[in-house]
Structure 1
Amino acid sequence: MRPRTYRASLSSRFLSEEDRIFIADRLVAGWSIRRIAASLERPASTISREVRRNRNPRTGSYRPFAAHDRALARLPRPKVGKIGQSPELRAYIQERLERRWSPEQISRMLRLDFPGREEMHVVHETIYLALYAQGRGELRRDLHKALRTGRARRKPRQHAQRRQPRFRDPMVMISERPAEVEDRVVPGHWEGDLIIGKNQKSAIGTLVERTTRYVMLVHLPDDHGAESMRDALTATIERLPTPLRRSLTWDQGSEMGQHKAFTTATDMPVYFCDPASPWQRGSNENTNGLLRQYFPKGTDLAQHDTTELERIAHELNTRPRKTLEWDTPAERLATLIGVW
């Protein structure tokens, strides 16, 4: 058999060679077109058309490598894109991708940094295309690892397993949280959670302020049991000025078993989300996704000391955010502190 070189499609909108291998294997296994389409998260018509157009015209059999070659042969030769034509633009984008900026952040800041220079303006989809289209030579292929997901295609989210309340002290549920928290107008209301490391043995606490999206990381060098969490969380929160210590929203993880003692020490009430409802801490969930670029799943999180956590939090807090009208969390927080 001749050696093959993997060639991806121009965009995740198109089927890749891996997709076609999946289709061929499942057809041999007797899967229906609809079942294959559901597994690939594609319309059934896409799979049906793929098999019809790219199967062997003589035998009618579907062979993935030959099908991929036929599909690529139909595509027009890609022209050098805008990023590939401009070394200045390419260098600007690559430098910020290395700093883990998102393509949308880069696109926005290009317009702010180069007003009136249309040749330096690209939409974020153009940056994604330059990253994922092999052979175009516009951006280094390895830079996709700096993206939040680290991959070209999104994976479906799975529902978190339902966890039962396990606290001796009664919980105050999110339904009893003041209305001002939901409005995100009054600062000082935080969302929190844990990022868990290898074999569930290490963890890092994450805190996000709902109004400014300012991030603080909680160092847990020994363990993430209820008492260790209480002490580390208290020490972190006590660094904040009093007006920024209004409430904390958390899920029903066992690490918050000492929530009453935490509230007594900080005068900061804790509100608990409903089971299997991560959207009730949406800002924190989003931030934890960003932090996984720095703390990949399956790694030992105990190796990161306080200095490293502060450096990473600073990097996140100095990124422009779309939800803040392209201000940074640090700028928004500094404005609030200046008012006080």
Structure 2
Amino acid sequence: MPRPEAARRAGINERTARDWDHGVRKSRNSRFYPDGRRVNYSTGQTTIESMTSPPAALDTLQKQVHPRFLTLADRERIADLDRAGWSRRAIGRDLGRPASTIKRELDHHRNADGSYGAYTAQRRASAQRVRPKPAKLAAPGRLRDYVAQGLRKRWSPEQISNRLVEDFPGEEDMRVSHETIYQALYVQSRGGLKREVSAALRTGRLRRTPHRSPEHRRSRFTDPMVMISERPAEVEDRAVPGHWEGDLITGAHNKSAIITLVERSTRYVMLGHVPGEHTAEAVGGVLSELITALPDHLRGSLTWDQGSEMAGHKAFSVATGVPVFFCDPASPWQRGSNENTNGLLRQYFPKGTDLSVHGRLDLEHVAQELNERPRKTLGWETPAERLATLV
């Protein structure tokens, strides 16, 4: 029967039923996973615990596995038919398996002399399934040194992973996925990269944070929002200048903030000083000053996320004549230029610092530096040069 129905009859929550199916068990404030992970939700730590049944103590030849895996009996049959000269397709039809499964089995588990032994293959397959496996970056070596060096240069895990292919084209041992690097940074006891955490990632997070499902969010505004799906096509293709993306970057304990505005076609940056609390009234006032300082033809639209600081969006539009479009919940990529700029600004305004100490002149200096950087997307022109042709 379907899992929801089975959970209802058993009198348990559907998530508990799913956990049981996957071998997850709970104890007080921790969850234990079959691969040895223990997640403590009070501290946010993930640790690797010793397995209750050590792999060495298991009967690897007779241990029951999922039906999608080959059993010892299957391998004995493959060995017999392979010695009899059957083709892989014929063996597959006899076992009710795809020919590709038979090919992988024979290719991966043949002995040095070219023979295939059922018991040897079973022991190898059982050893390969054992979890948890040794972390790839836990042991010192060239690969770990390369990853650590890339992180110190503020490369993202994805950049490191792909650059390895370019720098070591013929060395398969110099390969690591970006997810493995994230695991080495985030998961306790698996890393070897703990010292790199504070400076390694742009977010500066010590652990991953869950994201709330968009359908569980409620609107924060009294006035109805105009969503990004209703934004004119001319805004999307960046052909017409004057359309802006905006956001706040916040400081320590969320008590200080800076308004960031980025023009979509030129990537020109404007920063707004919010000296006190970033309420809707304060943000609306500073935002209006920034927008009204622009020529009329550069006041096309403003795209923002659904932060509560834009609760007065209707009053802002009435005062400036600039319509505001809102992104979908948890969709920061819909303001990609602004998100990228916020990442660059964190070099000047690190997370966890008091942003109220930066005055208007400080913000103008930072904005000027960003606007005088050549950009690849602008054909190596600077945002200031590109905007100057439009004003």
- Structure 1 partner of 2:331: 277
**Structure 1 contact 147–293 (Cα < 8 Å) conserved:** no
SS of 2:390's equivalent in the other structure is helix
Say whether 1:216 aligns with 2:270: yes
TM-score normalized by structure 2?
Answer: 0.51
Distance (whole Å) between structure 2 residues aligned to residue 286 and residue 332 of structure 1: 19
- CA shift in 2, pair 1:304/1:31, >3 Å: farther
1:206 aligned residue: 260
Question: Which residue of 323, 328, 331 corresponds with 2:377?
Answer: 323
Cα gap change, 1:29 to 1:260, in 2 (>3 Å): same
Q: Find out whether 1:250 has 2:304 as its counterpart.
A: yes
Shift of 1:149: 3.1
* Residue in structure 1 matching 2:202, options 149, 156, 166: 149
2:90 maps to which residue? none
Residue 331 and residue 32 in structure 1: after superposition, are their counterparts in 2 closer, same or farther (change >3 A)? farther
Deviation readout 1:270-316 (Å, 9 max, x if unpaired): 01111111111111111111111111111111111111011111111
Deviation at 1:147, TM superposition (A): 9.4
| Structure 1 residue 28: Cα displacement | 3.9
> What is aligned with 1:238?
292
Could you tell me whether the CA contact under 8 Å between 1:203 and 1:220 is conserved in 2?
yes
For the aligned residue pairs, the C-alpha RMSD in angstroms reads 4.5
Q: 1:208 Cα deviation (Å)?
A: 0.6
**TM-score, normalised relative to structure 1:** 0.58
Q: Provide the residue aligned with 2:345 in structure 1.
A: 291
Structure 1 residue runs of 5 or longer lacking an equivalent are 1-21, 34-44, 55-63, 79-96, 104-124, 127-144
Measured after TM superposition, the shift of residue 154 of structure 1 is: 11
Residue 177 (1) aligns with residue 177 (2):
no
1:37-61, Cα deviation, whole Å (9 max, x unpaired): xxxxxxxx8x999849x9xxxxxxx
Q: Tell me if the contact between 1:237 and 1:266 (Cα under 8 Å) persists in the aligned partners.
A: yes
Kindly provide the amino acid, as one letter, of the partner of residue 353 in structure 2.
Answer: T
Higher CA-based Rg: 2
Equivalent position SS for 1:219: strand
Q: Would you say how many aligned residue pairs link Structure 1 and Structure 2?
A: 239
Structure 1 distance, partners of 2:381, 2:369, is 14
Give the Cα–Cα distance (whole angstroms) in 2 for the partners of residues 320 and 174 of structure 1. Answer: 29
Task: After superposition, give the CA deviation of every residue in 1:205-233 in whole Å (9 maximum; x if it has no partner).
Answer: 11110001111111100111111111110
SS at match of 2:48: helix
Matching residue's letter, 1:207:
L
The alignment status of 1:166 with 2:220, answered yes or no, reads yes
- CA deviations over 1:62-116 (Å, ceiling 9, x no partner): xx9xx84xx53xx59x9xxxxxxxxxxxxxxxxxx9xx9x99xxxxxxxxxxxxx
Residue number in structure 2 paired with 1:12: none
Q: Does the aligned pair in 2 maintain the 1:193–1:205 contact within 8 Å?
A: yes
Amino acid at match of 1:26: I
Q: Percent identity?
A: 59
CA change 1:187–1:148 in 2 (3 A) is farther
Deviation at 1:155, TM superposition (A): 8.5
Task: Mark the CA change 1:336 to 1:254 in structure 2 (over 3 Å): closer, same or farther.
Answer: same
Q: Give the distance between the partners of 2:49 and 2:371, measured in 1 at CA.
A: 49
Cα distance 1:282–1:156, how it changes in 2: closer, same or farther (>3 A)?
farther
Change (3 A) 1:237 1:158: farther
Unaligned 5+ segments in structure 2 are 1-36, 38-46, 56-127, 146-152, 157-165, 168-197
- Partner of 2:249: helix, strand, or coil? strand
For 2:308 and 2:273, locate their aligned partners in 1 and report how far apart those are by CA, in whole Å: 17
Deviations 1:224-252 (A, max 9, x none): 11111111100011111111100000111
Give the secondary-structure state (helix, strand or coil) at the position aligned to 2:274.
coil
Structure 1 segment 1-340 matched on structure 2, within 5 A:
26=48, 28=50, 51=134, 68=139, 71-72=140-141, 149=202, 159=211, 162=214, 163-337=217-391
